[in-house]
Amino acid sequence: MMDTCSVSIALAVIMVSLSGGAPIMAADRTKQTEEEAKQQLDRFAASYKTLDEWQARARNIRKGILRGAGLSRMPDKCPLKPISHSRRELDGYSVENVAFEALPGYFVTGNLYRPAGLKGPFAGVLCPHGHFPGGRLRSDQQYRCATLARMGAIVFAYDMVGWADSDQVKHGDPNALAFQLWDSIRAVDYLLSMKEVDPERIAVTGASGGGTQTFLLAAVDDRVAVSAPVVMVSAHFFGGCNCESGMPIHRSETHETNNAEIAALAAPRPQLIVSDGKDWTKNVPKVELPYIKRVYSLYGAEDRIENLHLEDEDHDYGYSKRVGMYKFMAKHLRLDLGRVSNPDGTVDESKVAIQKQADLRVFTPEHPKPDHAVKSAKEAADMLFANGRGPQAPPTTQSAQTRPGQP
């Protein structure tokens, strides 16, 4: 299903957070024309020639992203206090329902997939989901996570804010981008809290809105060693939801960037960009990839950036896209592709047992949310921004988008 959205345009003013917190910055831009995007990348490329010049630019962009998300001064990290239940032992892997506290009483919820019959240490892979119906509970997400686990990775699939078990902040909240970026940073902490996870082999991959989470996390958290954003890297489209472009991470008085350049911030770490011919990633081979490759070349790391472009495919994380990702992760995370391959070399996902969505839920009548859980988005926002939002640039005159029918 195409992850499209209808547009609701608002004047870019300082808005009072719908979550009841402090005023937040105006919304970010959402798109520009393809020609504007090409010209913008040309301007960016002209601003640096050497590695030192690029690294100075990259530092400023990272500061701009965190400043725009209100995370220049991140909150103190609280104990994770992980919750786990309903572990099922399956063919070559296990799955359990888990949660942890990203902030006191504010939970990140999801499923943890572990390899079976293998000895660690293991790579750790984060699998955020996009705005596809079902989120982390849908079958293609289960195929992805379980297959990676069968290959020898510990995999965490987690909810976007306002989806499935993550109901303390609505997805349309103006601070959704900040919450999701913080959730992802804490998800890295969660993986690293497991003694069997190799801290040198942390990866992230997601499609669409999950692709946005992938390249944003890789941009600001250098603990991510490998990344694979799927059907989202575009110089002309900035994401169609508050959780992607609802805060001014792309432009302020002190920085200007786009999602192609944000993806380039992962350099020189290995990155696979998956694109297709029927959405906003259609130009990747000719527009976005050359720019990103140029950045990698400054590090002498051209061999660490790859593009899988599927011209006849659409906006999803389908089988052929997953296969490309499996091969890339096997190569850079030292996973065993042979454990999921047929004699002819094709990847076999048939041993993945698709679970009923209800069986993957974290908070149920039998496993209720803890009593100390925060009761409002305002409580969560107050903690997220407890150390202040940091120095804020004035808002830009851009518009915001929301997706209809979201929780």
Query: What would the pLDDT profile of 155-192 be if each residue is shown by its tens digit?
Result: 999 999 999 999 999 999 999 999 999 999 999 999 99
* Residue owning tokens 């940091």: 390
| pLDDT on residue 126 | 99
Which residue stretches of 47-132 are H helix?
Answer: 51-68
Q: What is the dihedral of CA 167, 171, 174, 180, to 10 degrees?
A: 80
| Helix or strand (DSSP H, E) at 227 | strand 226-230
| pLDDT on residue 30 | 74
| pLDDT on residue 23 | 32
3-class DSSP state for residue 97? Answer: strand
Average pLDDT, the chain: 90
Domains of the chain: 119-355 (3.40.50.1820)
- The pLDDT averaged over each successive group of 10 residues in the chain (407 residues) is 33 30 48 94 98 98 97 96 98 98 98 96 98 97 98 98 98 96 98 98 98 98 98 96 95 96 98 98 98 98 98 98 98 98 97 98 98 96 87 39 37
Burial zone of 320 (CB within 10 Å; 0-12 exposed, 13-18 middle, 19+ buried): middle
Do 147 and 322 contact (CB within 8 A), yes or no? yes
CA atoms of 328 and 270, how far apart (whole Å): 9
Do 141 and 318 contact (CB within 8 A), yes or no? no
Beta strand 106-115 pairing with 93-103: antiparallel
CA atoms of 82 and 192, how far apart (whole Å): 13
Do 287 and 273 contact (CB within 8 A), yes or no? no
Identify residue 288 by its one-letter amino acid code: E
Note if the pTM is more than 0.95: no
| pLDDT on residue 27 | 52
